[in-house]
């Protein structure tokens, strides 16, 4: 048989031709592309290891049944140098053209859900959080009306760390939930965010599902006057209540939102929560050996009343952890934190987060019948810090049935005036008992992932999805080229990017997989690819 010379354009065409015919085997297709690209990496320059990578990719295609591509590799890449040259050519073509992400059609959006469930109004949204001890910008000072206990990082004396936090809050944080909002006006603060900077992520969505950025430049001053102007005749939706919102027409009352998002509300409302008590730090001598922090039998949990993402949560299972809590409580006491919560420790077997919508009182999905849009599994560090979550689209019906009564009991304990998006964190113990350990009557971090079952499961046969934030260096949009095979296949969706400092960036990424092991493999692949930038 005559062997035709290697043609990189033809090879690329073969790769592209296979894709639509093997949607349910895209993982092997992606594995091949990464194997080919990996051959040019310095770590694979030694011939035996490079050859191993090639043969591994070749046999993977045989197993997957992609014989056409395997034959192309066999006949056209017999020499390692040819593989190197062809790979470099293909990568150069990709670099010039840029990674072409497939269009993402969300199952629904927040805007569509609000309209369908009787929540009236043209809306404008803000996704910013603020701090009681840290000015985010001279034109956007610290919060004094609805202060939070906050994440520990802002209390750092390190100026560089504080500056970094400001950039994260003004950059990535408001973008990460915007991907699922839909056709709504959304407030962003420049110069940290620009319309051009978010265009790449927005362009992945169909035009009718894209939000409309309203940029307010903090450097120009007059911020609160401009906020009033752009929100005229619109209802304001917010993530966390802030004092300036009292002058606006808000869907939910800011003061009420402040109350129900405190962990104290779990106790006072009668929600099914672990046995807890409120401890006054102001009236407690932390150093006293007879204080509750020193005498409470292990294990137990200590939480700040107003903090999110697991910050300010201490799972006290050992005496060394008790010492850590004692030190933390002294610091919080000195900072003016008034109260903390001490709770019963639950020996859990499941840690789940339920995301739902409460429609208008006259709608089908009112507080007595909330619309559950997704149940995610929380991913936490050993000390309880939230790092993201994953969702199993194939298990949603069973999870909804399992948690329905607890969710419904919770929504009925909310004020009758509350409407909109919310979430609850529910832990299940080994005896099947269910406990609400956190109420988030606001937008949740997993909201976009709840709207992507069609993209991952129905279109690509990937029943699971996960999201997390990643750091990388270089031009902000280079992430799309660094992850080109995954992005082009639709297995990875970059939902937000933001420059943090210098050439350091952060990105929120959602990716699909066949199972938890597959999700872990893709995550590791993302980390490795971004580490090379």
Kindly report, residue by residue over 416-439, the tens digit of the pLDDT.
999 999 999 999 999 999 999 999
226 shares a domain with 145: yes
Does 329 reside within a domain?
yes
Helix locations, 451-515, DSSP H: 453, 459-460, 478-482, 484-489
Domain boundary (97, 124, 154) is at 97
Note whether 286 and 277 are within 8 A (CB): no
127 shares a domain with 198: yes
131 shares a domain with 212: yes
- The count of structural domains within the chain is 3
Does 521 reside within a domain?
no
239 shares a domain with 119: yes
Does 243 reside within a domain?
yes
Does 22 reside within a domain?
yes
Burial class (CB in 10 A: 0-12, 13-18, 19+), 225: exposed
Kindly report, residue by residue over 18-73, the tens digit of the pLDDT.
444 444 444 444 444 444 444 334 333 344 434 444 444 444 444 444 443 444 44
Instruction: Give me the long-range contacts of 249-252 (CB less than 8 A, separation at least 24).
Output: 251/119, 251/121, 251/123, 251/419, 251/420, 252/417, 252/418, 252/419, 252/420, 252/441
Model confidence at 83: pLDDT above 70: no
Residues 76-100: what's their mean pLDDT? 47
Domain boundary (221, 252, 283) is at 252
The domain of 294 spans: 275-344
Note whether 369 and 300 are within 8 A (CB): no
Distance, CA of 504 to CA of 499 (rounded, Å): 6
Would you say the C-alpha torsion 226, 111, 499, 481 has a positive or negative sign?
negative
**Tokens matching residue 485:** 């095979």
121 shares a domain with 226: yes
301 shares a domain with 210: no
Kindly report, residue by residue over 266-298, the tens digit of the pLDDT.
999 999 999 999 999 999 999 999 999 999 999
Does 469 reside within a domain?
no
Does 352 reside within a domain?
no
133 shares a domain with 186: yes
65 shares a domain with 13: yes
Does 81 reside within a domain?
yes
pTM score of the predicted model: 0.80
Domain boundary (97, 125, 160) is at 97
Q: How confident is the model at residue 130 (pLDDT cuts 50, 70, 90)?
A: confident
162 shares a domain with 120: yes
Model confidence at 522: pLDDT above 50: yes
Does 357 reside within a domain?
no
122 shares a domain with 42: no
The CA-based dihedral angle spanning residues 194, 197, 199, 204, taken in that order and rounded to the nearest 10 degrees: -140
247 shares a domain with 287: no
In degrees and rounded to multiples of 5, residue 219 shows phi and psi of: -70, -15
219 shares a domain with 194: yes
**Tokens matching residue 514:** 């066949």
């Amino acid at each position: 048989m005559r062997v035709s010379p290697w043609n990189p354009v033809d090879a690329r065409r073969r790769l592209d031709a296979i894709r639509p015919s093997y949607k349910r085997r895209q993982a092997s297709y992606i594995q091949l592309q990464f194997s080919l690209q990996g051959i040019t990496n310095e770590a694979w320059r030694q011939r035996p290891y490079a050859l191993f990578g090639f043969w591994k990719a070749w046999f993977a295609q045989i197993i997957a049944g992609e014989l056409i591509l395997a034959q192309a590799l066999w006949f056209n890449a017999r020499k390692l140098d040819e593989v190197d040259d062809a790979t470099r050519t293909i990568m150069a073509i990709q670099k010039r053209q840029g990674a072409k992400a497939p269009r993402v059609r969300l199952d629904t959006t927040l805007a569509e859900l609000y309209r369908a469930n009787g929540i009236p109004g043209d809306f404008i949204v803000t996704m910013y959080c603020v701090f009681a001890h840290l000015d985010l910008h001279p034109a956007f000072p610290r919060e004094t009306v609805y202060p939070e206990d906050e994440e520990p990082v802002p209390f750092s004396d390190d100026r560089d760390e504080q500056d970094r936090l400001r950039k994260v809050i003004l950059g990535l944080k408001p973008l990460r939930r915007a991907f699922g909002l839909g056709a709504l006006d959304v407030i962003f603060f420049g110069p940290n965010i620009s319309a051009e900077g978010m265009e790449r992520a927005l362009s992945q969505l169909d035009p009718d599902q894209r939000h409309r950025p309203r940029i307010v430049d903090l450097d120009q001053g007059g911020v609160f006057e401009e906020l009033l102007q752009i929100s005229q005749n619109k209802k304001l939706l917010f993530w966390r209540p802030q004092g300036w919102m009292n002058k606006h027409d808000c869907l939910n009352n800011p003061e009420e939102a402040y109350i129900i998002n405190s962990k104290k509300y779990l106790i006072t409302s009668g929600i099914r929560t672990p046995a807890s008590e409120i401890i006054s730090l102001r009236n407690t001598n932390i150093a006293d050996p007879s204080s509750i922090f020193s005498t409470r039998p292990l294990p137990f949990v200590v939480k700040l009343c107003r903090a999110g993402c697991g910050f300010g949560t201490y799972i006290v299972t050992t005496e060394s952890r008790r010492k850590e809590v004692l030190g933390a409580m002294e610091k919080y006491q000195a900072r003016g934190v008034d109260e903390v919560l001490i709770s019963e420790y639950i020996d859990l077997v499941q840690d789940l987060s339920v995301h739902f919508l409460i429609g208008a009182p006259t709608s089908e999905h009112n507080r007595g019948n909330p619309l559950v849009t997704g149940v995610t599994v929380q991913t936490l560090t050993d000390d309880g810090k939230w790092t993201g979550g994953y969702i199993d689209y194939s298990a949603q019906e069973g999870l909804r049935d399992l948690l329905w009564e607890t969710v419904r009991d919770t929504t009925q304990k909310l004020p009758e005036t509350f409407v909109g998006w919310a979430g609850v964190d529910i832990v299940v113990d080994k005896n099947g008992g269910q406990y609400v350990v956190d109420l988030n009557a606001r937008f949740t971090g997993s909201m976009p992932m709840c709207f992507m079952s069609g993209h991952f499961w129905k279109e690509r046969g990937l029943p699971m999805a996960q999201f997390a934030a990643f750091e990388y260096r270089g031009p902000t949009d280079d992430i799309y080229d660094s992850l080109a095979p995954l992005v082009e296949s639709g297995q990875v969706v970059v939902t937000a990017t933001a420059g943090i400092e210098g050439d350091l960036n952060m990105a929120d990424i959602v990716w699909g997989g066949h199972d938890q092991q597959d999700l872990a493999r893709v995550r590791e692949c993302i980390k490795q690819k971004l580490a090379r930038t």
